[in-house]
Structure 1
Amino acid sequence: MTAADSAAEQRIVVVGGGMAGHRVAQQLVAHGARRVLLLAEEEYAPYNRVLLAEVLAGRYSPDIAALTALPPQVERRQARAVRIDRAECRVLCDDGAVVDYDRLVLATGSNPVLPPLRGLFDDALTGSERHELPAGVFAFRTMADCADIDGYLPGVRQAVVVGGGLLGVSAARALAARGIQVVLAHQGEHLMERHLDEEAAEMLRAHLAELGVEVHTECRVRSVLTEDRRVTGVELADGFRLDAELLITAAGVRPRAGLAQAAGLDVRRGIVVDDHLRTGDPRIHALGDCAEHRGVVYGLAGPALAQADRLARILTGHDTPYQGSRLLTRLTLTGPDSAPLDLAAFGETAPAGPGDRVVRLADASRGTYRKVIVRRDEQGGDRLVGGVLLGDLDTVGDLAGTWEGDEALSAHPLHLLTTQSTTTGGPSR
């Protein structure tokens, strides 16, 4: 029996039915695995989380965001894993089921971070990752969140979104598309500071204003105002109060690593894995938002899918280590009365040393902005190490391809910004 045949007969249990868990189960079967069980906690069919804002905005139905069906070789069971028995190689579930495994894959994802606001945690459940929030307060991370927010929207006129990162911006413009007055409160100096520089963020702010979103940066919300445990507004650090019947928190996410930690696995920011996406227990692997590889927790859909593809090959006898992912973030903002605004960011978006060059091309009349960071390598050639683009993204495909290929540039960097793309870059968030 070959190594691949032996691997195909292993019982592989995947904990987590999100994008990463769904993808690794699909790819395991594609590479010959015959005994795959997927434990999915969410009641919803698997979906593309990149499209959640479109669902909230009412542009897509949940069915449009659904992922392709799993192959029949995968057994999908709705259950929550509550304990891992490493000595017996089994998983205990909340419905009482006990599942044996030869290899276990943890794709438990992440939880939204709830900011420490006064009035938010009064009824917190001690020792739990879940909280009883005041009526009208929601996180924005899952299809269940979308459904809960949608069910609460009738009668809502004003909303506050806390957090101006990718999720916060997406939630704000989705609510604006539903005709709600939205205030976006962001504690940082400019929007999406992890991805955009100040000039690009200012263009994004102007576009959100066109959609009807009022943006406040360097603005800290300190309290949630409620009446009978129903949100009525927020209080800012300077004492100013904003009325709101709806509050969405988008203050980041935290890997769901409690299951792994309780099993004695190494957890830092996430579940620590090596280049085979393997934990300290050789029978247990982790990937996606819950995993930490070489000190990095990606928290984006693109790297999670890349890890799933690689792990499927590893578990079916193809020794192809995972070396890490390069990050391309892309977002399209649309509104009923304005042209869409595309933005993309990849690699390093600011110079890191005196030898780095910044090449910019901006057109205020067309609302476009393109910037790339170029670095001189040891051989004297120029390499593209990152960039930020807003507006017309005709060039994003070729720029991303040049960056991912990590090859010396054959022409002046300005040529990259003025040449129309022959390919397109997909979303990764």
Structure 2
Amino acid sequence: MTRLVVIGNGMVGSRFVEDLLGADAAGRYDVTVVGAEACEPYNRVLLSEVVAGKHDLSALTLPTPQSPRLTVLRGEQADHLDREDRVVVTAGGGRLRYDRLVLATGSAARVPPLPGLRAADRGDGGGADDGTLTHGVHGLRSIDDAREIVAATLNAQRAVVLGAGVLGMEAACGLARRGVAVTVVHPASTLMERQLDEEAGRVVELAMSGLGIDHRVGVGATEALVEDGRLRGLRLDDGEIVPADLLVLATGTVPSTVLATTAGLSVDRGVVVDDDLRSPDDHRVFAIGDCAQPPEGGSGLVAQGWEQSRRLAALLCGSISGGAELLPTRPTAASPRPSSVGSDVVRLKAHGLDVVTMGVCGSQRVDDPAQRTLRLSDPDVGRHVEVVVSGGLLVGATCVGAGAVAADLVTTYTRRTPVPADPAYLLLPALMPGPASAPTSPDAIPDDATICRCNGVSKAAIVACVHDGATSVPDVAAATRATTGCGGCSDDVCALVEWLSPAASTSKDALGTTAMAFSPSDVRPGENHVTKGKHMNHNAETAAS
């Protein structure tokens, strides 16, 4: 039996364990998981929706698979690695021997080096949150963070969100939905600069104003103002003081690499790994998810971590014969790396804002003469659509306030469908009155069409699942993982199951909502009317991130 230790029990670590146990038909591995958090793994992607009141915390839980070959140590911190003796030493003094070690330690919320953010400001230049924050200052990285922010909104009158990336925008909209006056402060020249250029960002700014969310874009913060140990405001670099009794930090993350660093493994921004996700310093050690730095770089999106999980599980279960050493392998023409097209699709889960981006986008992209860009921008109605075409394919798109068009573009992008000879036709649906396209009958959807993009679940997989006896969305989630990522496909999966099994009690009994007519053109139907019951399907995932 090969001893495998996984450090980290988050969305990627727990997914890897499930992938490995599912692929390990020969029963080669005895798996031990060390998780610092005392709870079951949970869907961290949806924490902002807990802040918005769309989910209860219990709906995010991802149960651990059951296996006699699996031991999970919850609430146990890995202290250091002894690579020479192949041992993980825990904070409690435990010693876990390994033959293979997988680091899935994730990342921590970055706390910027602003005076006043920490209760005992050390002026150490920021970094990971390793100190107590001032009362009223919160990150948003864990269930505890979300719980504390929700509790703070009961008394908070004015909130500031520092950072307007995806998480910051979602948090701001969530706080506004709870009735708190919100100001977003972002030092870059545009909101969500990794996804939006300045023109698209201005359209989003106008939409935010319509939601009652104030913003300071292109202005940074210099100091958190504290009185009697409590936050009172934020001083900006132009001298303005923004009053606040609640500050949410959405200033990025720092990969958790302390274990790797102290063990002498190569670390840059993350734990350096090769194409096989293996440390170049130790062929027994691997890293996946936010803590890893693969050759292509880290995206910070869970889809990349899940793709790494599947790939590593396949590698470990397919490359060992008897007691042979696991030797490095590289992608070849005959066995290429799995496609990651579609893993960079970003949907903003924010009440009142409709933003979808994919591929080539954002204010920091590099000009490429081989790419042709076409755009339609109408800020007065809150709409901006941009497509980027190269080699007859859609290689990028930005959609603000055009959800139905965005869904069509996502399908074109992820399926690598050739675009029209005149790519301007891609923009025409945005000009049509009413819905961009009529609802499509499920029987007209190709079998290989991807329904759940987070988990790569096709229509064919859902059809097969229902034919095998699934009668509800939770059944489909347990068997395929569909709906267990961002949750955006829940209504489509519901409608598809209902179409396949008219007698199934999908929408009312299992979800607490009425199923829509299936339409792949609707990006997030019912987004603003999510119910607790609907998302209890997350609990069924590991019974499957």
The TM-score with structure 2 as length reference comes to 0.71
Corresponding residue number in structure 2 for 1:64? 59
Separation of aligned partners in 1, 2:453 and 2:355: 12
Separation of aligned partners in 2, 1:324 and 1:265: 28
Corresponding residue number in structure 1 for 2:87? 90
Contact 1:26 1:71 in 2 (8 A): no
1:308 offset after TM fit, Å? 0.9
Separation of aligned partners in 1, 2:368 and 2:215: 32
Residue 410 of structure 2 is aligned to residue 400 of structure 1? yes
1:274 offset after TM fit, Å? 0.7
Contact 1:372 1:386 in 2 (8 A): yes
Task: Please list, as runs of the form range in 1=range in 2, the aligned pairs for 1:288-307 lying within 5 A after superposition.
Answer: 288-294=289-295, 296-307=297-308
Contact 1:397 1:424 in 2 (8 A): no
Secondary structure of the 2:318 match is coil
Q: Are residues 40 and 124 of structure 1, via their aligned partners in 2, closer, same or farther at CA, if it must alter by over 3 Å?
A: farther
Corresponding residue number in structure 1 for 2:542? none
Q: Are residues 151 and 320 of structure 1, via their aligned partners in 2, closer, same or farther at CA, if it must alter by over 3 Å?
A: farther
Separation of aligned partners in 2, 1:119 and 1:44: 31
Corresponding residue number in structure 2 for 1:99? 96
1:303 offset after TM fit, Å? 0.6
Secondary structure of the 1:44 match is coil
Is 142-151 or 416-425 further displaced after alignment?
A: 416-425
Is 355-364 or 190-199 further displaced after alignment?
A: 355-364
Separation of aligned partners in 1, 2:249 and 2:148: 14
Q: Are residues 345 and 405 of structure 1, via their aligned partners in 2, closer, same or farther at CA, if it must alter by over 3 Å?
A: same
Corresponding residue number in structure 1 for 2:39? 44
Q: Which amino acid aligns with 1:54?
A: E
Match of 2:10 among 13, 18, 21: 18
Separation of aligned partners in 1, 2:78 and 2:67: 22
1:366 offset after TM fit, Å? 5.4
Match of 1:370 among 385, 404, 423: 385
Q: Which amino acid aligns with 1:414?
A: A
Corresponding residue number in structure 2 for 1:308? 309
State the superposition RMSD in angstroms: 2.5
Secondary structure of the 1:167 match is helix
Contact 1:13 1:105 in 2 (8 A): yes
Q: Are residues 180 and 122 of structure 1, via their aligned partners in 2, closer, same or farther at CA, if it must alter by over 3 Å?
A: closer
Corresponding residue number in structure 2 for 1:243? 243
Aligned length: 411
1:77 offset after TM fit, Å? 0.8
Match of 1:119 among 116, 120, 124: 116
Structure 2, unmatched stretches of 5+, are: 320-328, 332-336, 430-435, 455-484, 487-545
Corresponding residue number in structure 1 for 2:268? 268
Q: Are residues 128 and 304 of structure 1, via their aligned partners in 2, closer, same or farther at CA, if it must alter by over 3 Å?
A: closer
Provide Cα deviations, 1:69-115, integer angstroms capped at 9, x if missing partner: 32334321111111011111110111211111111110000111111
Contact 2:102 2:285 in 1 (8 A): yes
Q: Which amino acid aligns with 1:374?
A: V
Contact 2:12 2:305 in 1 (8 A): yes
Residue 353 of structure 2 is aligned to residue 341 of structure 1? yes
- Using the aligned pairs only, state the percent identity: 36
Q: Which amino acid aligns with 1:375?
A: S
Provide Cα deviations, 1:142-186, integer angstroms capped at 9, x if missing partner: 111101222333311111111111111111111111111111001
Separation of aligned partners in 2, 1:159 and 1:128: 22
Is 363-372 or 172-181 further displaced after alignment?
A: 363-372
Separation of aligned partners in 2, 1:164 and 1:246: 16
Contact 2:257 2:291 in 1 (8 A): yes
Could you say which structure has the higher helix fraction?
2
Provide Cα deviations, 1:189-228, integer angstroms capped at 9, x if missing partner: 1100001122222222222222221011011110111112
1:375 offset after TM fit, Å? 2.0
The TM-score with structure 1 as length reference comes to 0.89
Provide Cα deviations, 1:119-146, integer angstroms capped at 9, x if missing partner: 2246157898511111111111111110
Secondary structure of the 1:156 match is coil
